[in-house]
Amino acid sequence: MIATLPVSTGPVYVFLAIDHGAQFVSDSARMSVASTAAIVAFVAVHAIVAQRSGTLRSLALATLAWLGVALLLQLRDWRFAEVCVLFVGAFGAAIFGLRRYTTVTETPRMPRTRYDLLLRAGLVALVVLATTAAGNLLGPSVTGVLATYPVVFTSLILILQPRCGGPFTAAMLVNGLKGLLGFALALVVLHLAAARMSAAPALLLALAMSLGWNGALYGLRRLRRAPVVADRGP
């Protein structure tokens, strides 16, 4: 759930709002909703490949899957209703089709190293710079797709898979799909809100949507795990 918060996409949209204004943010967010299908492709390919392959091969093929879907999305001008159907269909198919990868027989230790935070920060900075440049040169369509590159998922693969193995890392990413639904809904809120108000309140509403969704998932998980106390009577 933490991995699906807008850690990288949030800063990207803050800079886009500063440079281009609310309408550009709204148009970019519409394409970002569509590009969540590319994130689903990233997770799906990694889950399949990581069962038998190492970190670099798994990440390379997952990234190629993301890039392929991202390029296909550029072939047409997507309407808002169409992107909503696309993301609902992609997530529904992935959550149903990848169920076998959601659990692992044993949970390995997850040691931390000094470069974990540095790697994540570097990837976020790279995406922010690339997306800001795209906003100036290529318009909202390409910018919206680049804004949702799965930075956190990429860093998790690079950090965890060499230590914990492919199946464990794949299970973490696949379980993140439910949280990623909240991320997609936050982008929907951003698209609609930025078309009707200034960028700052629209961004805050989108952030509230993402935090609220993941908080609700966490609360439901706690309720399911809560022990049932039998009433023994007086």
> What tens digit of pLDDT does each residue of 143-193 get?
777 778 888 888 888 888 888 888 998 998 998 888 888 888 889 999 999
Cβ atoms < 10 Å from Cβ of 38: 22
Higher pLDDT, 58 or 228: 58
Report d(CA 46, CA 175) in Å as an integer.
13
> Does residue 234 carry a pLDDT above 50?
no
Report d(CA 7, CA 175) in Å as an integer.
18
As a whole number, mean pLDDT of residues 24-52 equals: 90
Specify the pLDDT at position 65.
Answer: 94
Specify the pLDDT at position 50.
Answer: 92
Q: What is the pLDDT of residues 42-89, one digit of tens each?
A: 999 999 999 888 888 999 999 999 989 988 888 888 888 998 899 889
Q: HSE on the CB side for 153, CA within 13 Å?
A: 34
Taking a C-beta distance cutoff of 8 angstroms, is the pair 73, 41 a contact?
Answer: no
Report d(CA 203, CA 3) in Å as an integer.
19
Domain ranges of the chain: 2-103+113-222
**Cβ neighbours of residue 209 under 8 Å, at least 6 residues apart?**
182, 185, 186, 189
Q: What is the pTM of this model?
A: 0.80
**DSSP category for residue 106:** -
Element holding 28 (H helix, E strand): helix 22-49
